[in-house]
């Protein structure tokens, strides 16, 4: 499979893009390919388009070269879509996709409809970054490229913990470790590290949480006022729902935060018995069996009652 290089013959211009609201796998896979082209194909003009990335990923090589503006460009010879299930997820970069002479998609989302000219879709892969590793010649993976791939794998596997983690994932991670990356610092700095205020608002969310349905459900809410008081943004609330989920004997964790006139953003995590995607989809959201989200316009109390009755039904309570 390690033949990405063969796609560059006769190619002078390349655009790379990932999905809107880029996460670790999106940033990692895109920068890995960008750095690979920069290193081994210096004659190619390559542009990487992503919405502004989280600061935690800015230590990755060439993260400062990412373009978050989308001017009218001459058509690209090749467009690489990474970690993206469909063209709408490309956001504003989709115009370059539509115009490109050739398109390639590398992705692991099961919903991917093979929308490019050439598609490398492997839903069993832990991450797009894992697929990028396989598309590159191993001996050409520099330390900088290895860091990008490692970040992507760490983030999409929750530090090699989610069920998408395979023996192959660990094998690749081991090879990356041997390339001299500072793997413990990468995990600490990009995954676990929280600001003081992030820790404090998580503390508040945990303190205020309620156990419901005989301890099978844990529920907590962060209001807009809480966010003002602790001086945090919605993105700083990542991780709260996962901390709620690991409460002993809990089947489902529900976390809400207030999103102005949009109502509440609802995140749900299941430990396996409840399909939270089914519940989220029923209210216009989406996700996976064990992790799903939806926006609901109602009071927090009413949202809680609605979700609880659906969870109770699934649990046969
Ligand atoms: Mn991914």
pLDDT score of 88 more than 70: yes
CA distance 172 to 248: 32
What is the whole-number distance in angstroms between the Cα of residue 263 and the centre of ligand 1? 27
Residue ranges per structural domain of the chain: 5-192, 196-315
Ligand 1 center from residue 152 Cα (angstroms): 7
What pLDDT shows up at residue 163? 85
71 C-alpha to center of ligand 1: Å?
26
89 alpha carbon – ligand 1 mean position (Å): 12
Q: Is the pLDDT of residue 111 over 90?
A: no
What is the side-by-side order of every strand in the sheet holding 118-121? 45-49, 13-17, 78-82, 102-107, 118-121
What is the mean pLDDT of the segment spanning 185-200?
A: 96
Closest CA to 57 of 197, 199, 237, 186: 186
Query: How far does residue 98's CA lie from ligand 1's centre (Å)?
Result: 22
User: What does the mean pLDDT of the chain come to?
Assistant: 96
32 pLDDT exceeds 70? yes
Q: Which long-range contacts (CB under 8 A, 24 or more apart) does 92-95 make?
A: 92/49, 93/15, 93/17, 93/49, 93/50, 95/70
Percent of the chain with pLDDT over 90: 91
What are the residues whose beta carbon lies below 5 Å from ligand 1 (ion)?
25, 83, 127-128, 156
Distance 143 CA to ligand 1 centre (A): 21
**Centroid of ligand 1 to alpha carbon of 128 (angstroms):** 5
Question: What is the C-alpha to C-alpha distance for residues 231 and 233, in angstroms, rounded to an integer?
Answer: 7
Give me ligand 1 centre to Cα 20, in Å: 12
CA of 208 to the centre of ligand 1 (A): 32
- For residue 205, the CA-to-ligand 1 centroid distance in Å is 28
Q: Could you give the CA distance from residue 255 to residue 237 in angstroms, rounded to a whole number? A: 10
Q: Output the CA 83–ligand 1 centroid distance in Å.
A: 5
The CATH number fitting domain 196-315, selected from 3.90.1150.10, 3.40.640.10, 3.10.310.30, 3.40.50.300: 3.10.310.30
For the segment 251-267, the average pLDDT, to the nearest whole number, is: 95
Ligand 1 centroid, distance to 175 Cα (angstroms)? 20
Give distance in angstroms: CA of 24 to centre of ligand 1.
Answer: 8
According to the model, what pLDDT value does residue 1 have?
66
Segment 1-15, tens digit of pLDDT? 679 999 999 999 999
pTM for this structure?
0.86
Task: Report CA(240)–ligand 1 centroid distance (Å).
Answer: 20
Q: For residues 70-90, give the mean pLDDT.
A: 95
**pLDDT value at residue 62:** 98
pLDDT band at 287; cut points 50, 70, 90: confident
d(C-alpha 154, C-alpha 24), whole Å: 8
First to last CA, the chain: 49
- Ligand 1 center to residue 170 CA distance, Å? 16
Span from the CA of 81 to the centroid of ligand 1 (angstroms): 12
Q: Which fold has domain 5-192?
A: inorganic pyrophosphatase (n-terminal core) (3.90.1640)
pLDDT score, position 129: 98
Sorting pLDDT into bands at 50, 70 and 90, what band is 289?
Answer: confident
**Does the fold of domain 196-315 match that of domain 5-192?**
no
């Amino acid at each position: 499979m390690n033949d990405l290089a063969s796609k560059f013959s006769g190619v002078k211009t390349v655009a790379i893009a990932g999905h809107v609201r880029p996460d670790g796998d999106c940033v990692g896979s895109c920068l890995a390919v960008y750095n690979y082209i920069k290193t081994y194909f210096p004659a190619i003009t390559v542009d990487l388009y992503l919405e502004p990335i989280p600061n935690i990923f800015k230590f990755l090589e060439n993260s400062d070269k990412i373009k978050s503006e989308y001017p009218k460009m001459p058509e690209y010879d090749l467009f690489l879509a990474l970690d993206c299930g469909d063209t709408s997820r490309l956001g504003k970069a989709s115009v370059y996709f539509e115009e490109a002479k050739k398109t390639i998609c590398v992705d692991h989302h099961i919903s991917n409809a093979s929308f490019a000219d050439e598609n490398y879709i492997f839903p069993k892969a832990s991450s797009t970054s894992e697929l990028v590793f396989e598309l590159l010649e191993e001996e050409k993976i520099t330390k900088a490229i290895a860091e990008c791939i490692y970040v992507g794998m760490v983030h999409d596997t929750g530090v090699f913990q989610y069920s998408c983690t395979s023996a192959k994932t660990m094998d690749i991670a081991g090879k990356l470790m041997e390339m001299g990356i500072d793997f413990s610092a990468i995990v600490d700095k990009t995954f676990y590290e929280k600001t003081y205020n992030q820790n404090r608002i998580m503390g508040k969310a945990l303190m205020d949480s309620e156990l419901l349905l005989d301890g099978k459900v844990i529920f907590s809410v962060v209001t807009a006022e809480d966010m003002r008081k602790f001086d945090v943004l919605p993105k700083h609330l990542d991780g709260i729902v996962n901390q709620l989920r690991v409460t002993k004997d809990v089947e489902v964790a529900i976390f809400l935060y207030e999103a102005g006139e949009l109502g509440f953003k609802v995140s749900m995590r299941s430990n396996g018995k409840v399909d939270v995607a089914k519940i989220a989809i029923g209210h216009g959201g989406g996700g996976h069996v064990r992790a799903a989200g939806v926006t609901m316009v109602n009071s927090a109390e009413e949202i809680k009652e609605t979700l609880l009755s659906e969870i109770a039904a699934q649990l046969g309570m």
